[in-house]
Amino acid sequence: MAKKKKPSIPGVSFSWKRALGVTKMKREFTKATGIPTTKAGVERKLGSMILGLFFGNKKKSGKDDHEKIY
């Protein structure tokens, strides 16, 4: 049998994680340590590390590549 959906108001949602600040804490932790907190982030980081082992690490220099020259 299919699950019944709770009636909801379109365009209105509530997230207890955002209300308690969990999302902000995870984002700040990730920025400070460089350790991803999502499954996709972990997979991306591990994949780039493995490819770096096989093909050599070509690290990007970061924001310097995107600076505007005046």
pLDDT tens sequence across 12-64 = 888 888 889 998 999 999 999 998 999 999 999 999 999 888 888 666 655 55
Q: What is the pLDDT of residue 59?
A: 61
Residue 48 in any domain: the answer is yes
Domain membership of residue 39 as a residue range: 18-56
In a domain, 13, yes or no: no
Q: How many CB atoms neighbour CB 48 within 10 A?
A: 13
pLDDT of 26 reads 92
Q: Tell me the C-alpha distance between 24 and 30, whole Å.
A: 10
Residue 34 lies in a domain: yes
- Residue 12 forms part of a structural domain: no
pTM of the predicted model, to two decimals?
0.51
CB 48 within 8 A of CB 59: no
